[in-house]
């Protein structure tokens, strides 16, 4: 895992299937952005692409493993498309992060004429319209609670405002059943762990 970031940066996290041979920006690399973004909560149809990052390692892993709730994890759950899942840190400068709209701040919601329940809405037409509004207002991205738990927070960065070159990315760490982030995510999601009683 990467060393702690200096105070001048904010550290975010991503969990993804990792091909060690992939070049930056290619599929299965830390910076890959899947084209055809239309179904995510704050997707903008690739205009611009949106990079979703988690506020903690457990949250990043939880977003990927959430579909297995009720199951007991095995090594097979820690692979996607034939590649092992890995986690990487993404450091963003505080100066840039200050340009991200904190939608948990009532003052920001008031400025945008939005209510919290709109952000938690199941209808992507509603939430994507908010993302489009935030982008149009000149923000670099938006910050909001994870749909999984209010204990986790998500940051969606607009790729035209915060390109990958402006992020300091840590070395990916392959996940195993012994990874602390896997155990933490499993506990919060109610996933079984091998050997647990």
Predicted confidence at residue 179, as pLDDT, reads 97
Give the mean pLDDT of 156-176. 97
C-alpha neighbours within 13 Å on the C-beta side of residue 100: 24
| SS3 assignment, position 180 | helix
| SS3 assignment, position 84 | strand
Predicted confidence at residue 5, as pLDDT, reads 53
Q: Over the stretch 56-84, which tens digit does the pLDDT of each residue have?
A: 999 999 999 999 998 999 999 999 999 99
For residue 186, give both structure tokens: 């499993």
Predicted confidence at residue 2, as pLDDT, reads 54
Higher pLDDT, 7 or 175: 175
Q: Where are the domains of the chain?
A: 9-189
Q: How many CB atoms lie within 10 A of CB 61?
A: 27
6 pLDDT band (50/70/90 cuts)? low
Predicted confidence at residue 68, as pLDDT, reads 94
Predicted confidence at residue 194, as pLDDT, reads 87
The rounded distance, in Å, linking the Cα atoms of 129 and 41 is: 10
Q: Over the stretch 39-58, which tens digit does the pLDDT of each residue have?
A: 999 999 999 999 999 999 99
Distance of CA 42 to the CA centre of its chain: 11
pTM: 0.92
Give the mean pLDDT of 176-197. 90
The rounded distance, in Å, linking the Cα atoms of 48 and 60 is: 22
Q: Over the stretch 88-141, which tens digit does the pLDDT of each residue have?
A: 999 999 999 999 999 999 999 999 999 999 999 999 999 999 999 999 999 999
Give the mean pLDDT of 154-169. 97
Give the mean pLDDT of 162-173. 97
4 pLDDT band (50/70/90 cuts)? low
Q: For 85, phi and psi rounded to 5 degrees?
A: -70, 140
């Amino acid at each position: 895992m990467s060393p702690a970031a200096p105070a001048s940066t904010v550290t975010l996290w991503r969990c993804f299937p990792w091909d060690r041979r992939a070049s930056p920006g290619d599929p299965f690399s830390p910076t890959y952005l899947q084209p055809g973004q239309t179904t995510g909560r704050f997707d903008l149809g690739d205009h611009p692409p949106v990079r979703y990052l988690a506020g903690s390692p457990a949250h990043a892993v939880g977003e990927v493993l959430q579909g297995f709730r009720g199951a007991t994890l095995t090594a097979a759950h820690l692979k996607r498309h034939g590649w092992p899942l890995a986690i990487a840190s993404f450091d963003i400068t505080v100066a840039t992060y200050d340009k991200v709209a904190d939608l948990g701040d009532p003052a920001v919601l008031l400025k945008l004429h939005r209510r919290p329940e709109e952000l938690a809405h199941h209808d992507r037409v509603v939430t994507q319209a908010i993302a489009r509004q935030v982008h149009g207002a000149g923000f670099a991205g938006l910050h909001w609670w994870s749909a999984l738990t209010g204990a986790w927070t998500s940051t969606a960065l607009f790729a035209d405002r915060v390109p990958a070159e402006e992020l300091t990315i840590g070395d990916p760490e392959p996940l195993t059943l012994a990874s602390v982030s896997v155990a933490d995510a499993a506990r919060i999601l109610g996933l079984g762990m091998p050997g647990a009683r």
